[in-house]
Homo-oligomer: A and B are copies of this chain.
Amino acid sequence: MEFTIPWEHYVAKYRYKYSALYHAIREGILTGTLQSGRRLPATRELARQYGISRGSAATAYDMLLADGYIITEIGRGTYVAVVRIEEKQAVHPSSEVSLSTWGKRVLEQQRREEAGGLLTSSETGEIHIEDQIRFDKGEMPADDFPFAEWRKVAFSKMEDEDSAVTDPAGDVLLRAAIAGHLGLSRGIAVDPDLIVLFSGSMQGIALLTQILLNESEKAVIENPGYPGFLQAIRVNGGVPIFASVDEAGIIPEDWDASLLYVTPSRHFPTGAVLPLSRRQELLAWAHKRNAIIIEDSYDSDFRFRGRPIEPLKVLDSEDRVIYMGSFSKTMYPGFRLGYAVLPRGLLQAARAVKSFYDPFPPGLNEQRGLGEWMRRGGYAKHVRKLTRLYGSKLHVFVEAMETYTDDFFELHVGDAGIRVYAIWKQNREKYVQFMDKCKQNEVYFTDSAIYQMTEDHKPAVYFGYVHLTDERIREGARRMAAAWEEIRNR
Listed in ascending order, the chain A residues whose CB lies under 8 Å from chain B are 14, 16, 18-19, 23, 55, 59, 62-68, 84-88, 90-103, 106-107, 109-110, 122-123, 125-127, 141-143, 147, 151, 155, 158-166, 172-173, 176-177, 179-180, 183-184, 187, 189, 192-193, 199-200, 202-203, 206-207, 210-214, 217, 228, 231-232, 235-236, 258, 290, 292, 314, 317-320, 328, 332-337, 343-346, 348-349, 351-353, 355-366, 371, 374-375
Contact = CB atoms under 8 A, between A and B. Distances in A.
B66 A176 contact: yes
A189 to B, nearest CB: 4
A198 B429 CA distance: 45
B94 A158 contact: no
Q: How many copies of the chain does the oligomer comprise?
A: 2
Contact of A96 (B200, B345, B371): B345
A246 to B, nearest CB: 29
Residue in A90, A159, A162, A357 whose Cβ sees the most chain B Cβ within 10 Å? A357
A195 to B, nearest CB: 12
B211 A106 contact: yes
B180 A68 contact: yes
A172 B63 contact: yes
A192 B62 contact: no
Residue in A64, A314, A345 whose Cβ sees the most chain B Cβ within 10 Å? A345
Contact of A334 (B98, B143, B343, B365): B365
A475 B438 CA distance: 76
B67 A192 contact: yes
A328 B163 CA distance: 16
B160 A200 contact: no
Given A97-B212, A98-B258, 11 more contacts: A16-B164, A67-B176, A67-B183, A68-B184, A94-B345, A100-B211, A109-B356, A110-B351, A143-B159, A200-B358, A362-B362
Contact of A212 (B93, B100, B375): B100
Q: 6 tightest CB-CB pairs across the interface, nearest first?
A: A103-B211, A199-B362, A110-B352, A334-B364, A66-B176, A63-B176
A251 to B, nearest CB: 24
Contacts of A110: 348, 351-352, 355-356
5 contacts: A107-B352, A110-B351, A161-B333, A200-B359, A362-B363
Contacts of A23: 193
B100 A187 contact: no
Given A107-B348, A147-B158, A173 B371 contact: no
Nearest to A85: B189
A211 B452 CA distance: 28
A159 B66 CA distance: 22
Given A352-B110, A358-B203, A363-B366, A189 B88 contact: yes
A164 B177 CA distance: 32
B360 A336 contact: yes
B166 A352 contact: no
Given A318-B92, A344-B93, A352-B106, A155 B158 contact: no
Given A97-B343, A141-B161, A358-B202, A317 B91 contact: yes
B202 A359 contact: yes
A336 B362 CA distance: 5
Contacts of A63: 172-173, 176, 192
Contacts of A374: 66
Nearest to A362: B199
A336 B357 contact: no
Contact of A344 (B90, B102, B151, B365): B90
Contacts of A92: 317-318
A362 B333 CA distance: 11
Nearest to A183: B85
A109 to B, nearest CB: 7
Contacts of A357: 199, 202-203, 206-207, 357
A101 B215 CA distance: 9
Given A109-B356, A110-B356, A147-B158, A101 B214 contact: yes
Given A67-B180, A90-B318, A231-B356, A212 B99 contact: yes
A102 B237 CA distance: 12
A7 to B, nearest CB: 15
B189 A87 contact: yes
